[in-house]
Amino acid sequence: MHWTTCDRPGHSLCVALLTRARPTPAQNARAKGPSTVGQKVVMAATGILLVLFLVAHMLGNLKVFAGASAFGEYAQWLRRLGDPVLPQTAYLWIQRVVLLLAVGGHIWAATALTLRARRARPVRYAHRRPVRGSYAARTMRWGGVIIVLFVIYHILDLTTGHLNPVADPANPYATVVADFAPGRWYVTLFYGLAVVAIGFHLRHGVYSALRTLGQQTSRGERRARAFALALSVLLCGGYLAVPFAVLTGVVR
């Protein structure tokens, strides 16, 4: 090693800091694939994309309250979006591909981190106090699985119409109203539970994503938690409004 002096102003202490005695292990061998931090960044970035979709989708759903024709027009508009540059439903397909990639990346990162966590503790504690962190943080993994199952059901219900009693592509309003009819309370209940699961998932997920992307002050942490809670409550409320409005006859 030799001595050099850093000549930046105020860096009188940087004597010899610019030389390295030997390469760090990082320079010798690089692991394949993203690090655990990289995996979390994938999870955060895809998660934010999905949250943006959730906000847009909620706003679209609330059009139900504007009446059958406004809701129908909105559905038509979704299919026309990009016209005349893009063909019919092109935008919808682009969105589907992007969402599918995001969901895929999100699940890949979650699975990789879960498997790594399993391997990281081969012998369990005989006496394990329940995790003290929030309920939301504890249920991220199972919550995620429930949400995926819900989305599959939901697409078969309101997009492809396989599980819907009306399934009239020309009349999405009637399709939604039939879906949550009082006689089908169990469907409404399932939607309600899934939406609450999403609320919990986002309550920890949004805070965690901000932390992963570098949020690092305690004031920022309080804000991030408050923002995550507010967003979750807002989305829950917005999504629950439609099924419960139909169930109670406000929308018919």
> Which residues are near ligand HEM by CB under 6 A?
54, 57, 61, 75, 78, 96, 99, 147, 151, 154-155, 158-159, 172, 176, 191, 195, 198, 239, 242-243
Nearer to ligand HEM, 121 or 252 (CB): 252
Nearest approach in angstroms of CB 14 to ligand HEM is 52
Q: Judged by CB under 8 A, which of 81, 196, 221, 238 binds other proteins?
A: 221
143 binds, among ligand HEM, other proteins, none (CB under 5 to 8 A by kind): none
Nearer to ligand HEM, 189 or 213 (CB): 189
Nearest approach in angstroms of CB 162 to other proteins is 35
The rounded distance, in Å, linking the Cα atoms of 201 and 25 is 37
Would you put residue 249 in left (φ > 0), alpha (ψ -120 to 50) or beta?
A: left
The string of DSSP codes covering 23-80 is: --HHHH---SS--HHHHHHHHHHHHHHHHHHHHHHHHHHGGGGG-HHHHHHHHHHHHH
Give the interface size with other proteins as a residue count (CB under 8 A): 61
The rounded distance, in Å, linking the Cα atoms of 51 and 227 is 13
> Does the protein bind other proteins through residue 2 (CB under 8 A)?
no
> Does the protein bind other proteins through residue 203 (CB under 8 A)?
no
SS3 6: coil
Nearer to ligand HEM, 47 or 243 (CB): 243
Cβ contact 225:207 at 8 Å: yes
> Does the protein bind other proteins through residue 211 (CB under 8 A)?
yes
The rounded distance, in Å, linking the Cα atoms of 18 and 46 is 38
Nearest approach in angstroms of CB 222 to ligand HEM is 27
Cβ contact 98:53 at 8 Å: no
Nearest approach in angstroms of CB 41 to ligand HEM is 22
The string of DSSP codes covering 196-209 is: HHHHHHHHHHHHHH
> Does the protein bind other proteins through residue 9 (CB under 8 A)?
no
| Cis peptide preceding 87, ω within 30 of 0 | no
Nearer to other proteins, 19 or 69 (CB): 19
The rounded distance, in Å, linking the Cα atoms of 155 and 138 is 27
Task: List the interface residues with other proteins, window 116-175 (CB under 8 A).
Answer: 116-117, 119-129, 131-133, 137-138, 140
Nearer to ligand HEM, 143 or 172 (CB): 172
Q: Judged by CB under 8 A, which of 215, 229, 234, 241 binds other proteins?
A: 215
